[in-house]
Amino acid sequence: MSFQKDLSKNKSIIKILVIQQKMIGDVLISTLICKNLKRWNSVIHIDFIANRHTLDVIRYNPYIDEVVVFEDRFKKDKWGFLKFLRYHRKKKYDYIIDAYGKLESLLICLLVPAQHKIGFKKFYTSFFYSHAVKKKKVQEDSLQLSIKNRFQLLEPIMGNFPKNSEVEIHLTSEEIAIIREQMDAVLGKGNQAIMVSAMGSSRNKTYPFEYMAQLMEIAFITTNLPFILNYRPDQEEQIDTLVDQLQPATKKAVMKSLTPSSLRDYMVKAYHCNAVVGNEGGAINIAKGLKKPTFAIFSPLIDPSGWHTEIPNKCMAVNLKAFFFDAIDYSDHRKLAKDPAKVMELYKMLKPDLFEKKWTDFLKSVISK
């Protein structure tokens, strides 16, 4: 089933609602839905539903006409969510594209009027969607599945129209200049640094500190560049544990005064860094959107085929399965997530010496540019 004929006959502005709640990386990848729709038909009007804590990554995005904030409190505030739904019922869309596919977005699909509703196929989704798309679960080429599957959501509208897979983040010249001035005051005029995603979103997604410290030692010896560590304020104590494991010279290279104070601050500081490395997650995905060289370490819980497209010395990653193929069954990740001791046991198998050459080659390429 294709809706392309419907679009070609419709002379008025086509309104599309894209839904992508929760995590920063998911929101970034889903902006590709908006980007490709606008490349295909520039007069489409696109509204985008996202959680408030992710808004900085879509600020100034030219492919989104209106951002609709889905408040975190709606999870518990049923009356607030109901008011949200009642307000948006007044809007009429031609298409709703649900890239999230959880209860909240399914209710939006059910109650907000639209001629066509597109989402991922599950046994119950025919009740909510007019067009359910089957997710690909096996990587067929180098393109990561998180992008490939979102492109599948576009096919009922765009068909085989060529799609662009480059995520974009938009910074202002004023932001860039202000942060450069701050960094110059600490690093020296024009000097750069390496941004380290020092912690993941949880301990289950954080590379062991003793190993991260080893990688930072190698990085400092190889590049002689200072470090900026990215982490949340509530992770400060844990970060101190990491820094305490560094040699005195490397410890001195950690520029604590430049620690990002907000998501937007992180984005602009990452823009000014040579590279962004460390735990795979939102910080790495943002760096990719900024076209910065990245080196990601995947948690044993995360299948890299969904989130990584390897590009030598530009977009690189390591994961345990590459070295110990039978160590992990990603289909069992929910069960594994409930066993932090087992996750750490698996993490500890991913020793730095397994990928030291890949790590140093990446670092050398970063400083040679």
147 shares its domain with 212: no
**Do the domain assignments include residue 167?**
no
pTM greater than the 0.75 cutoff: yes
197 shares its domain with 67: no
> In terms of residues, how long is the chain?
369
Would you state the pLDDT for residue 299? 96
- Is the predicted pLDDT of residue 320 greater than 80, yes or no? yes
89 shares its domain with 118: yes
**Do the domain assignments include residue 165?**
no
**Do the domain assignments include residue 166?**
no
Q: Which domain-ending residue is among 112, 130, 158?
A: 158
Rounded Cα distance between 277 and 300, Å, is 17
292 shares its domain with 330: yes
Rounded Cα distance between 146 and 327, Å, is 23
200 shares its domain with 280: yes
Q: Which residues contact 337 (CB under 8 A, 6 or more apart)?
A: 204, 301, 343
1-40: per-residue pLDDT in tens?
455 545 544 557 899 999 999 899 999 999 999 999 999 9
Which percentage of the chain shows pLDDT scores above 90?
A: 84
43-84: per-residue pLDDT in tens?
999 999 999 999 999 999 999 999 999 998 988 888 999 999
Give one DSSP letter per residue of 325-358, joined into a string: GGG--GGGHHHHHT-HHHHHHHHTTS-GGGSHHH
111 shares its domain with 185: no
Rounded Cα distance between 144 and 138, Å, is 10
45 shares its domain with 130: yes
Asked whether 299 and 212 are in contact (CB, 8 A), the reply is: no
Please give the residue that has the higher pLDDT: either 9 or 367: 367
143 shares its domain with 192: no
Q: Which domain-ending residue is among 105, 129, 158?
A: 158
**Do the domain assignments include residue 291?**
yes
**Do the domain assignments include residue 57?**
yes
Copy the structure tokens of residue 114: 């639209």
* Domains in the chain, number: 2
Residue 136 CB-density burial (10 A; 0-12 exposed, 13-18 middle, 19+ buried) = middle
130-189: per-residue pLDDT in tens?
999 999 888 888 899 999 999 999 999 999 999 999 999 999 999 999 999 999 999 999
Asked whether 193 and 273 are in contact (CB, 8 A), the reply is: yes
Would you state the pLDDT for residue 4? 56
105 shares its domain with 200: no
208 shares its domain with 95: no
Q: Residue 306: which CATH number? A: 3.40.50.2000
126-139: per-residue pLDDT in tens?
889 999 999 988 88
- Report CA Rg, the chain: 22
For 341, the domain range is 173-368
**Do the domain assignments include residue 355?**
yes
Q: Which domain-ending residue is among 112, 132, 158?
A: 158
**Do the domain assignments include residue 151?**
yes
Average pLDDT of every residue of the chain:
93
177 shares its domain with 151: no
**Do the domain assignments include residue 163?**
no
248 shares its domain with 332: yes
